[in-house]
């Protein structure tokens, strides 16, 4: 029997502080300090659903750069606020946006969701119309 094995004592491991501080997964591109955007992930999700009301949660999450779980939470909060309605169609969801709902912050509460979506999607709509006219 060795000298150390004859004693019962707790063993503590010292882990340097810096090695466990940054254990979280990397932030999506939209949340980093050097690559910020004017619109929040709520707005990004809303734009995705306006563009494709039958979009799968996975597709919305990929397009926005968030996890499916976060997309699910954001859609649930938008639904709870009365901004969107979710209707089940078979195995998929169909989303209807309340374009008359007003934005929530006091600075922009005079604007509606529809006005925001029209502004953001305007270029995409005009691009689609141009491509249709070219056919």
CATH of the domain at 113: 1.10.10.10
Alpha carbon of 73 to those of 42, 66, 110, 123: distances in Å? 10, 11, 26, 28
Whether the full predicted model's pTM is greater than 0.85, yes or no, is no
Tell me whether residue 8 is in a domain.
no
With 0-12 CB in 10 A as exposed, 13-18 as middle and 19+ as buried, what is 107? exposed
Tell me whether residue 4 is in a domain.
no
Comparing 30 with 90, the larger pLDDT belongs to 90
pLDDT-derived band at 72, boundaries 50, 70, 90: very high
pLDDT-derived band at 37, boundaries 50, 70, 90: confident
- Check whether 14 has a pLDDT greater than 60: no
Q: How many CA atoms within 13 Å lie on the side-chain side of 49?
A: 29
**95 CB neighbour count, 10 Å cutoff:** 22
Say if residues 64 and 45 touch (Cβ distance below 8 Å).
Answer: yes
Q: How far apart are CA 135 and CA 120, in angstroms?
A: 25
Q: What pLDDT score was predicted for residue 124?
A: 72
The count of structural domains within the chain is: 1
Tell me whether residue 126 is in a domain.
yes
- Which whole number is the average pLDDT over 83-112? 95
Tell me whether residue 88 is in a domain.
yes
**Phi, then psi, of 31 in degrees rounded to 5:** -115, 5
> Coil, strand or helix: which one is 91?
coil
Tell me whether residue 87 is in a domain.
yes
Per the structure, the complete domain to which residue 49 belongs is given by 38-134
């Amino acid at each position: 029997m060795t000298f150390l094995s004859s004693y019962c004592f707790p063993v503590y491991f010292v882990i340097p502080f810096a090695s466990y501080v940054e254990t979280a997964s990397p932030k999506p591109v939209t949340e980093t300090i050097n690559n910020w955007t004017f619109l929040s992930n709520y707005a990004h999700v809303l734009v995705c659903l306006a563009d494709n009301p039958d979009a799968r949660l996975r597709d919305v999450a990929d397009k926005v750069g968030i996890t499916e779980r976060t997309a699910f939470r954001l859609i649930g909060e938008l639904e709870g606020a009365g901004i969107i309605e979710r209707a089940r169609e078979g195995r998929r969801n169909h989303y209807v946006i309340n374009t008359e709902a007003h934005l929530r912050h006091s600075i922009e509460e005079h604007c509606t969701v529809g006005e925001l979506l029209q502004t953001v999607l305007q270029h995409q709509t005009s691009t689609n119309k141009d491509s249709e006219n070219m056919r």
